[in-house]
Structures are given as C-alpha cells and as structure tokens.
Amino acid sequence: MLKEERQKYILDQVHLHHRVLLNDLSESLNVSIDTVRRDVKELDSEKKLKKVHGGATSFGFMTFTKDDGNIYLKSKKISIAEKTVSLLTDGQVILMSGGTTNMEVAKLIPKKLVLTVFTPSLHVAMALLDHENVEVIFLGGKLLHDAKFAVGGTVVNALSQLRVDMCILGTGYLDAEFGLTEFDWEVIQVKQAMIRAAKKTVILTVSDKLHSVQKYKTCDMTAVHTLVTELDPSDPLLDSFRPFDLVLV
C-alpha cells in the first residue's frame, strides 16, 4: 500500500468522523502505530488535520466550546444522526431530504452497510458518494440556489414512481397539533411526494424546533412513523407527541 493511500484514508476518516484514534487507524490500515503516528504528524505539518493526544481531529471540530451555539447544535445533530443510522439495515431502499442533520446521517453511515438512497439534495448526495456500498440516485430538477435542493414537477413525478422502505426528513418544524411545517412552498411539494413514496416516514428534529409552527404544512403527525430527537425518549418535552401512533427514538 502506498503512503499516499494511507494518508488519504486517514484524511477521509477525519473528515467523516471529525475525530479519529491512532489505534483504530493502525488496526484498520494494518500498519504499526508508529507509521500512523508519522503520517498524522506529516499531515498535521501540512495543515490538513490537527494532531491531538491519541489521535487527530478535523479543523472544524477541534474547538469544543459548549458556549458556541453552532458547535452545540452540531453535536445535537450528530447524536440524532447516530440514532437514525441505527434504524438502517442492509439492502434497504430509502429517501433522504436535505439539511445539515441529514448530512450528518449521510456521513455516519457505516462503510459496510449496503443501501440504495434517492435524494434531491446536492450536499447529501455528495456525502453519500463517499460510501462505496451505497448506490446514490439523484432526483433531478430545478435546484434552489440557497438550499442546493432539487424541486419542481420532475422531482415530484420521479417520486410518484417509487415505493421505498423509508423516508428520512430533516430540518422541519414540528408541533403536535399542526404537524410538520416549513417555510418553502416548493420544498413542501417535494417532501409530501417523498412521504407518499415511502412505507415509513422518519422525522429528524433537534428539540429547539419542537413545538414551533411555520407558514406551510407538509403533513400531519399521523403520517409520521418515527420521531428522532437528541433527547431521551422519555423526556417530558416529547409528551405532547405520545398520543400519536409513532416511535420515539
């Protein structure tokens, strides 16, 4: 194996998981810990990652200050993503919407897992393509400049011809009474089509977005099969959702 391959693998792992242990690298690369150490040292001096005691981190993740709202939110999203990934099984065909939470899900999918994923999100598609065993099918259409998300008749039409195992929707506002709401009309159309095309609907939401209502409605709570938050399923914040026939994770 070439040194360059090793270093690429290390950088991929760091970018994927934000942090990585030298021991794990040594094992999965089948080289001594010293070699890994030397590689990481080199990559660090090239400013491609940050070496820390026992491992390495990507530059975005090293500052773990809980005061910083963004980082805090990100770790919530990662914990949601971890729960979501555990819902996936080999051979499934799924739909994924866009948003940062779904991005984290895409990154955290195990390398071994065999999946077929349809998505209208450029970012999610890009992240999924890192996984050799995931077949990625992009739902083409007019792209929104800000969300990098395909919308319009083409997408809805393509979705109407699908019947997949599960659809994973991120970045929505959720309320027990009003259901799932958004502020972009075109996105709504696509998400509704996604829900129709899937046997099960999984909603990912950080607790901050619970009990808020936006302009347009995607669906009622009755259409939701699984609700994933960063909270413990028994958390009182989730009480208002318990009357519905859904799984809390």
Q: Please give the residue ranges that form the binding site for DNA (CB under 7 A).
A: 3, 6, 21-23, 31-32, 34-35, 37-38, 41, 51-55
> Do the beta carbons of residue 194 and residue 158 sit within 8 Å?
no
**Nearest 10 degrees: Cα torsion 137, 139, 144, 145:** 30
Angle, vertex CA 195, rays to CA 190 and CA 197, nearest 5 = 95
Best CA proximity match to 134, nearest among 170, 165, 104, 109: 109
Residue 95 contact partner, candidates a copy of itself, DNA, none, CB within 5 to 8 A by sort of partner: none
Piece in contact with a copy of itself (CB under 8 A), picked from 76-84, 126-134, 182-190, 214-222: 126-134
Residue among 36, 88, 150, 169 that touches a copy of itself (CB under 8 A): 150
CB neighbour class for 51 (10 Å; exposed up to 12, middle 13-18, buried from 19): middle
37 interacts with, out of a copy of itself, DNA, none, CB within 5 to 8 A per kind: DNA
Taking CB under 8 A as the rule, does residue 209 contact a copy of itself? no
Annotate 37-88 with DSSP letters as a single string. HHHHHHHHHTTSSEEETTEEE-TTTS---TTSHHHHHHHHHHHHHHHHHTT-
In angstroms, the CA 61 to CA 178 distance is 36
Contact 169, 204 (CB under 8 A): yes
| Residue 247 binding: pick among a copy of itself, DNA, none (C-beta 5-8 Å cut-off by kind) | none
By beta-carbon proximity to DNA, the closer residue of 52 and 108 is 52
Q: Tokens at residue 124, please?
A: 């999610």
Choose, by CB under 8 A, the member of 158, 188, 190, 206 that binds a copy of itself: 158
Per rule CB under 8 A, is residue 71 in the interface with a copy of itself?
no
Q: Total residues contacting a copy of itself (rule CB under 8 A)? A: 42
Task: Answer positive or negative: Cα dihedral of 156, 204, 167, 135.
Answer: positive
For residue 65, state whether it binds a copy of itself (rule: CB under 8 A): yes
Establish if 12 lies at the interface with a copy of itself (CB under 8 A).
Answer: yes
HEC sequence for 227-242: EECCCCCCCHHHHHHC
**Shortest separation between residue 19's beta carbon and DNA, angstroms:** 12
Contact pattern for a copy of itself over residues 15 through 54, marking x by CB under 8 A: x---x-x--------------------------x---xxx
Residue 22 interacts with, from DNA, a copy of itself, none (CB under 5-8 Å by kind) = DNA
Q: What residue ranges bind a copy of itself (CB under 8 A)? A: 2-5, 7-8, 11-12, 15, 19, 21, 48, 52-55, 57, 61-62, 64-65, 120, 122, 125-126, 129, 132, 135-143, 145, 148, 150, 154-155, 158
